[in-house]
A and B are shown apart, each in its own frame.
Chain A
Amino acid sequence: MTADTLAGWSAANRRRAEAMLAAYPDRRSAVMPLLYLAAMEHGHITEDAMREVAALTGMTPAQVQSVASFYTMYKRDGVGRYLISVCTSISCFLLGSDALLAAVEEETGTAGGESSDDGLFSVEHVECIGACGGAPALQVNYELVEGVAPDKGAALCRWLRDAGPEIVLSDEMQQLFGGRRSFDWAIREHEGAVAPVPAFAPYGSSGEEGA
């Protein structure tokens, strides 16, 4: 069944889907990882994506839709190549998150939660991303940057536009545009996001610098 359902998927993601279905004691538990895989295949959570995930897990498409709509990270509408999530929860708010959000929206031309006309950026404000000691913080494709002053936030957007990195690396952005961190990151990482989906190898959503 998997082969038919996933006719359009890459061989690598088909293998990952099989692995997910086998790894859990109950295949319905694979619905969340499979939705991430489907988002990688389709760009976002489309109707087709939900039908495919339903067939794989033995759920109905309506059940999959009900699950997908519960979680904010399953994007039902297309998102830009770079999804910028600015934290505006309490600790970031106290240290100027609203000015950072405004600067990012202005630089990308996305005020009001829309995507930019060139399809490059989507900007959202989000609740606490666990970086409160490095407030204000944001994520690009869920890769973290801490201690971002508004002008640095705008510069980060310009850099994304000009450099157009294939792999979004937290350490690189932190070095160029970040400030105070919640704690010493200590270890440089070379794995990052290749799409606006959390970068995690089992979900096929991460890439390695130089690989």
Chain B
Amino acid sequence: MASGFPPILTGRMTEAPGDSHTIARYEATGGYTTLRTALSGMTPEQVTEQVKASNLQGRGGAAFPTGVKWGFLAPATPRFLVVNADESEPGTFKDRQLLERDPHQLIEGTVLSAYALAVHHAFVYVRGEYPKPARRLQRAIDEAYAAGFLGSDILGSGFDLDLMVHLGAGAYICGEETALLNSLEGKRGEPRIKPPFPAVEGLYSRPTIVNNVETISNVPWIVANGGRAYASIGDPASAGTRLFSLSGHVKNPGNYEIPMDLTWRELIYDIGGGIPEGRELKCWIPGGASAPWFVPAEHLDTRVTKDDVAENGSMLGSGAVVVMDDTTNVVAAAHRIVRFFAHESCGQCTPCREGTTWLERMLWRILQGHGRPQDLDMLMDVSDNISPGLTWPPAMTTICPLGPSAVSPITSIMKYFRDEVEEMLAAGVTT
């Protein structure tokens, strides 16, 4: 969409907005031809080779190389493929658009992936708050079954695949892949201790691949055009395009598909249109609520790539960019994010369960004008308890990264806006 780049994921929905979700439009624009070609002329290994060569990295948050993950899949059968459509990281709304506006792209990607992985039963786990995306996807799945792209003996190839939509019921933690698998097994959505990784022991203890909606939606293009072509797009270490969700104090919020070689200045000002009402940029979150924040004085000319962002102590995460202008009360903003993690903690690990609650209460107290000078040290102490050493990436002492994620807004405001926090404390103490 932006920068005159031929889009991989969003082309059809831009060109045929009225019916990009239908099988008729999908087939009329070349959809399912890749599947035909692959099933008749490629071995599963050849499909996997293309995905490996593409350097595609997972779009669910951890940016793990998809081909490498697929290579870890244990040989035992049956095995499963689960598409993660739990999209709940505050600021993220890209998978919703892919589900609503081009569900067949995801289905074709799923069948190709399942073929490569010798999987015959796949699931899409859609968050419960997404009934409309789930309906769109279900209708598309029904169309695909009727047309012979799903079910038994797909296109006469002898390959079988069943694909099923499973709705969540309101729990962010179910986006974490092992929590998701527990949820799909009919259990509480609590993360499992890793290892074993899902590729070895996943759904029903069988080998399982979990991939994000956007990750799998890239697969048809990769198989059609070759992994090398995909790898040549964007930054060498961050191949392909990514769908960024832009929100907050920005003139043009929305999802933007861009190659990963722009700067933050270009993303926020050229694509996002800058800050509304003539106000100034104060800070932004580069990769979802879990990510440490960036500030204009240091990061506007940093490049939007996995490595550049990591070198600067944060991550692209789920691709959610939340922009805050100079009127933002950063303590209130940090409180909102910490409150989220406190609410969504599954409670298995004491530092996460207790720590996030403590952090939320302390920030609330400061916001209410009842902060105490020692609160600053206490915020850091409790944070250090959840995320020992306060390093980035965090040293993991909890079962999953949710706990350490809650610390990102705290370390961010203490690093860049400590004077503002101190001012609030001082104001609170005198009243």
Residues on A lying within 8 angstroms of B by beta carbon are: 23-26, 28-33, 35-36, 57, 59, 66-67, 70-74, 85, 88-91, 93-95, 126-135, 139, 142-144, 170, 180, 182-187, 189, 191, 193, 198-203, 205-206
A29 touching B185 in the complex, CB below 8 Å, given contacts A73-B128, A91-B91, A130-B129:
yes
Knowing A128-B340, A182-B253, A200-B131, the reply to whether A89 touches B170 (Cβ < 8 A) is no
Asked if A72 meets B13 with Cβ closer than 8 Å, knowing A67-B187, A185-B100, the reply is: no
Residues of B within 8 A of A30 (CB): 186
Across the interface, do A187 and B188 meet the contact criterion of CB distance under 8 Å?
no
Interface string of B323-347 (1 = CB under 8 A from A): 0100010001100110010011010
Residues of B within 8 A of A70 (CB): 171, 188-190, 346
Decide: A133 and B138 in contact? CB cutoff 8 A: no
Is the CB of B88 closer than 8 A to any CB of chain A? Answer: yes
Which residue of chain A lies nearest to B20 when distances are taken between CB atoms in the complex?
A186
A187 touches B92 (CB 8 A): no
CA distance A149 to B247 in the complex (A): 16
Contacting A at CB under 8 A, from B125-179, are 127-132, 134-135, 138, 164-172
Contacts A127-B344, A130-B95, A205-B131 supplied; 6 other A-B pairs, CB < 8 Å? A73-B129, A90-B289, A133-B253, A189-B132, A200-B167, A202-B165
Asked whether, in the complex, the Cβ of A128 is within 8 Å of the Cβ of B90, the reply is: yes
Query: Is B132 a contact of A143 with CB atoms below 8 Å?
Result: yes
CB-defined A-B contacts under 8 Å, sample of 30: A23-B164, A25-B204, A26-B185, A32-B167, A33-B166, A36-B169, A71-B170, A73-B169, A73-B170, A85-B129, A90-B248, A90-B336, A90-B337, A93-B336, A127-B172, A132-B90, A132-B247, A133-B247, A135-B253, A142-B131, A182-B247, A183-B255, A185-B100, A186-B13, A186-B101, A187-B100, A198-B128, A199-B131, A203-B167, A205-B131
Find out whether the CB atom of A74 lies under 8 angstroms from the CB atom of B169.
Answer: yes
Inter-chain CA distance A23–B253, complex, in Å, is 40
Complex CA gap A24/B332 in Å reads 44
Of all A-B residue pairs in the complex, the 5 with the closest CB atoms, nearest first, are A71-B169, A72-B170, A28-B186, A73-B170, A132-B247
- B241 at interface by CB-CB < 8 Å: no
Question: Which residues of B come within 8 Å of A, CB atoms?
Answer: 13, 17-21, 78, 87-93, 95-97, 100-101, 121, 127-132, 134-135, 138, 164-172, 183-190, 204, 245-249, 253-255, 285, 289, 320, 322, 324, 328, 332-333, 336-337, 340, 343-344, 346
Query: Are A26 and B322 CB-contacts (below 8 A) given A128-B340, A130-B92, A135-B247?
Result: no
Chain B min CB distance to A22 (Å) = 11
- Whether the pair B135, A139 counts as a contact (CB closer than 8 A) is no
Q: Is A31 in contact with B169, judged by CB distance below 8 angstroms?
A: no
- Chain A neighbourhood of B328, CB < 8 A: 94
- Give the complex CA separation of A180 and B320 in angstroms: 18
Write the nearest CB–CB distance from B8 to chain A, whole angstroms: 17
A189 contacts across to B, CB distance below 8 A? 132, 135
A200 touching B101, Cβ below 8 Å = no
B128 partner residues in chain A, CB cutoff 8 A? 71, 73, 142, 198
CA distance A187 to B97 in the complex (A): 12
Known A74-B169, A90-B289, A200-B167: A184·B92 in contact at CB below 8 Å: no
Q: Which residue of B lies closest to A133 (CB)?
A: B253
The chain B residue sitting closest to A88, CB to CB, is B336
User: Cα distance A95–B187 when bound, in Å?
Assistant: 36
Q: Which of B100, B185, B248 lies at the interface centre, i.e. has the most chain A CB atoms within 10 A of its CB? A: B248
The answer, among B13, B184, B253, for a CB contact under 8 Å with A29, is B184
Q: Which one of A23, A127, A132 contacts B320 once the chains associate, using CB atoms below 8 Å? A: A132
Q: Which residues of B contact A89 (CB under 8 A)?
A: 90, 289, 336, 340
Q: Are A143 and B186 in contact (CB under 8 A)?
A: no
| Bound-complex Cα distance A85 to B130 (A) | 13
* Minimum CB distance partner of A70 in chain B: B188
CA distance A180 to B184 in the complex (A): 34
Task: Output the least CB separation between A191 and chain B (Å).
Answer: 6
What are the residues of chain B within 8 A of A205 when measuring CB–CB? 131
What are the residues of chain A within 8 A of B322 when measuring CB–CB? 90-91, 94, 132
Name the CB-closest residue of B to A191. Answer: B135
In the assembled complex, the Cα of A31 lies from the Cα of B169 at a distance in Å of 11
Report yes or no: A201 in contact with B135, Cβ–Cβ below 8 A: yes
Residue of A nearest to B250 (CB): A133
With CB as the reference atom, state the residue of chain B lying closest to A199: B131
Given contacts A130-B88, A142-B128, contact A182 B96 (CB under 8 A): yes
Residue of A nearest to B249 (CB): A94
**Are A57 and B186 neighbours in the complex by a CB distance under 8 Å?**
yes
Per a CB cutoff under 8 Å, which of B91, B183, B184, B188 touches A90? B91
Known: A23-B164, A57-B186. A133 touches B93 (CB 8 A): yes
**How many Å lie between the Cα of A129 and that of B96 in the bound state?**
10
A205 CA / B138 CA spacing, docked (Å): 14
User: Chain B residue with minimal CB distance to A31?
Assistant: B186
> Are A128 and B88 in contact (CB-based, < 8 A)?
yes
Q: Is the CB of A35 within 8 A of B169?
A: yes
A93, B335: Cα distance in complex, Å: 11
A88, B187: Cα distance in complex, Å = 28
Q: How far is the CB of B167 from chain A (nearest CB, A)?
A: 6
Within the complex, the shortest CB–CB distance from A101 to chain B, in Å, comes to: 13
User: Distance in Å from the Cβ of A164 to the closest Cβ of chain B?
Assistant: 21
Residues of A with C-beta under 8 A to B246: 133
A132 contacts across to B, CB distance below 8 A: 90-93, 245, 247-248, 253, 320, 322
| Known contacts A128-B90, A130-B87, A183-B97, A94 near B255 by CB under 8 Å | no
